[in-house]
Amino acid sequence: MTIRVLIVDDQALVRAGFAAILNLEPDIEVVGEVADGSEALQVARATSPDVVLMDIRMPGTDGIAAIRALLEHGPVGVRVLMLTTFDLDEYLYEALRAGASGFLLKDVPRHQLLASVRAVATGDATLAPALLRRLVDDWLQQPRGGAGTTPGVDALTARGTRGVRADGAGTDERGDRLRALLERGDRAHPRVADLRQARCA
């Protein structure tokens, strides 16, 4: 199955760069490129992408507003993978709260970009290793066994993490979702396993 991708970024060189990488893959096709979030919904309706690569900060309609519009009014099953030069908590959490299925920095290595597009297309969730560590750090700071909230975990909406499943049972939904991310994080970054063990100790 070919993964159809729409690229939304206000910088033409960024769009061209990602398109060149993606179009080299036999199972991925870039079906459109737009420069503004306000165009994303219209083009998505016309091209029916499986995955939208979305810049989080653009003139006019920004990526956060565009995510909400796409998930509410766009093609059924479309998934959004955020791309940004920013790694601040507020952007990560806002993107996840809005329903994004993944969040990557724009300097993402080629192999990680391709793996993330494929993962999101199958309904999985993905985060850059550095951003995953940020979520883990927030989680580790919460009182053990308490009812405190973790912003990054709360931000993992049901739609944004469709396909994410945990092996354990008997814990709340937030813990299940983070556990699933941590399991993938073991492969993405070796330090995550140590952090998981520290939490359970």
Options 3.10.580.10, 2.30.38.10, 3.40.50.2300, 3.90.78.10; which CATH number does 3-139 get? 3.40.50.2300
Distance from C-alpha of 76 to C-alpha of 45, rounded to nearest angstrom: 10
The domains of the chain are located at: 3-139
Q: What is the pLDDT of residue 93?
A: 77
Residues of the chain with pLDDT below 50 are 147-148, 150, 153, 155-174, 177, 184-201
Which pLDDT tens digit goes with each residue over 173-186?
445 545 555 554 44
Amino acid 103: pLDDT: 86
For position 189, what pLDDT does the model report? 40
- Across the chain, the runs of DSSP E, i.e. the strands, are 3-8, 28-34, 51-55, 79-84, 102-105, 126-127
Sign of CA dihedral 26, 162, 96, 68: positive
Spatial CB neighbours of 171, under 8 Å, sequence gap ≥ 6: 179
3-state helix, strand, coil in the chain (%, to 5): 50, 15, 35
pTM here?
0.69
- pLDDT given at position 70: 92
- In this prediction, residue 195 carries a pLDDT of 44
Residues 16, 22, 28, 34: is their CA dihedral positive or negative?
A: negative
Task: Say whether 58 sits in a helix, a strand or coil.
Answer: coil
Q: What is the pLDDT of residues 2-39, one digit of tens each?
A: 999 999 998 999 999 999 999 999 999 999 999 988 89
C-beta separation of 14 from 55 below 8 A: yes
